[in-house]
Amino acid sequence: MIIEPRMRGFICLTSHPKGCEQNVKNQIAYIKSKGTINGPKRVLVIGASTGFGLASRITSAFGSNASTIGVFFEKPPSEGKTASPGWYNSAAFENEAKQAGLYAKSINGDAFSNEVKEQTLAMIKEDLGQIDLVIYSLASPVRMHPTTGVLHRSTLKPIGGTFTNKTVDFHTGKVSDVSIEPANEEDIANTVTVMGGEDWAMWMKALKDGGLLADGAQTVAYSYIGPSLTEAVYRKGTIGSAKDHLEATAFEITDALKSINGKAYVSVNKALVTQASSAIPVIPLYISLLYKIMKEEGIHEGCIEQIQRLYADRLFSGEALPLDDKGRIRIDDWEMREDVQAKIATLWEEASTETLVALGDLAGYKQDFLNLFGFGFEGVDYLADANEMVQVPSIQ
Ligand code: NAI
Ligand code: NA
């Protein structure tokens, strides 16, 4: 069987096992090329299979020789269907980790559920004893609340009024206006329930109550701010309310971890092409301009470069951790540089279907999007029969 990309809007229905493996191998090679990081040795990553979470797992394992447990929600391969990319990524990661003599186990299931938390706690107790670092990197459109059984859906809507701005269909390059109706109170509450900090706090409480956090344990969740261009739909929209809640939760968790000298942080990361960000209107146009400028300036980063810098220059540099006036780690510093944002603001005005090809980095956007699903990697023979490539990992 030859596997080709089958795009449907913001998703791709297929993914390529060999390409996903290449993606993981490239990220490992990058981390190795940057040298050792004096980071923690026992790491739990929640949302470990794609995007920033996968990069965090790779950085921990191959930068600091850490044992890792990864939690994620992915589809294994089935009759006539490829697995979801995060499943292939994780299979490849486990193979690479084992070859390097590193402990790596994964739990595939709903991280919001009590069952998956219990399963993870049992695995930690059995195999690692305690955890030194918990990375919380979930991005999900839904959450079944574990105590009420209610299924909450998050939305990507502005608050207070209709928002109209430009966006791009990155498949066709067509730039058009998009109008998004404002959220109601229920939308806001639901989005906070799905993407806010409640589940992060639940994880940390369960780990602490189980005696599974080492003295001085740290936990980090990821947030985003972005420019005024996207504020209405992002930071001041429903998802922004959830990020406000997530950021406030960091302080609550730090309080709750006092007895073990634990600390919770939020790291504000750069805008990147992931499955989560491609679905947000206006953001793809912003990212295509951002990529263009950052590449020109020689400061472009992907998930792995961002997390390597987060670990090496911030969290585990051995120096005092710089925080902004709201107590957050800022690894979006290069994206938010004044000169970078000023250039994007100018390009934004000029961007149209006709001009974007030259003004923006649509090709880079498309390339990154294909890469998410294991397509478009150098060194992969996409015409070879993919059947033999599907590894059988120990994912539970
Ligand atoms: P992603 O979609 O690549 O990764 C999401 C991860 O969560 C995957 O491992 C997936 O399996 C897992 N997941 C989703 N639902 C789950 C569930 N119910 N149970 C267990 N695992 C589940 O997303 P990305 O972009 O890496 O996002 C991670 C965090 O980083 C999010 O908080 C996001 O807001 C934040 N962030 C993203 C930025 C971006 O531009 N992509 C920028 C800054 C922050
Ligand atoms: Na992630």
Give 151-205 pLDDT, tens digit per residue.
Answer: 999 999 999 999 999 999 999 999 999 999 999 999 999 999 999 999 999 999 9
Q: Is the model's pTM score more than 0.95?
A: yes
Q: Which atom of ligand 1 is nearest to the CA of 246?
A: 32
Tell me, what DSSP letter sits at residue 78?
B
Q: Which atom of ligand 1 is nearest to the CA of 50?
A: 3
CA of 329 to the centre of ligand 1 (A): 18
Query: What value does the mean pLDDT take over residues 33-44?
Result: 98
Please give the ipTM for the structure prediction. 0.98
Terminal-to-terminal C-alpha distance of the chain: 26
pLDDT bin (cut points 50, 70, 90) of residue 396 is low
The 10s digit of each residue's pLDDT in 300-320 is: 999 999 999 999 999 999 999
Q: Which pLDDT score is estimated for 11?
A: 87
Ligand 1 pocket, Cβ-based, cut-off 6 angstroms: 47-53, 71-74, 86, 110-112, 137-140, 222-224, 269, 271-272, 274-277
Average pLDDT, the chain: 95
pLDDT bin (cut points 50, 70, 90) of residue 395 is low
* Percent of the chain at pLDDT exceeding 70: 97
pLDDT(373) > 70: yes
Other C-beta atoms closer than 10 Å to the C-beta of 337 total 15
Question: 304: closest CA among 60, 52, 73, 133?
Answer: 52
Q: How far is CA 253 from CA 118, 125, 138, 143, 325, in A?
A: 19, 21, 17, 21, 19
Nearest-5° Cα angle at 168, 166 to 170: 170
Query: What value does the mean pLDDT take over residues 239-256?
Result: 98
Is 265 a residue of the active site? Answer: no
- The alpha-carbon radius of gyration of the chain (Å, integer) is 20
Find the range with the poorest average confidence among 55-69, 78-92, 121-135: 78-92
Q: Which of 15, 203, 274 to mutate to test the pocket of ligand 1 (most atoms within 8 A of CB)?
A: 274
Pick the catalytic residue: 222, 234, 265, 286? 234
User: Which ligand has the minimum distance to the alpha carbon of residue 221?
Assistant: 1
Q: Which pLDDT score is estimated for 254?
A: 98
The single-letter code of the amino acid at 349 is E
Question: 242: closest CA among 336, 160, 334, 138?
Answer: 138
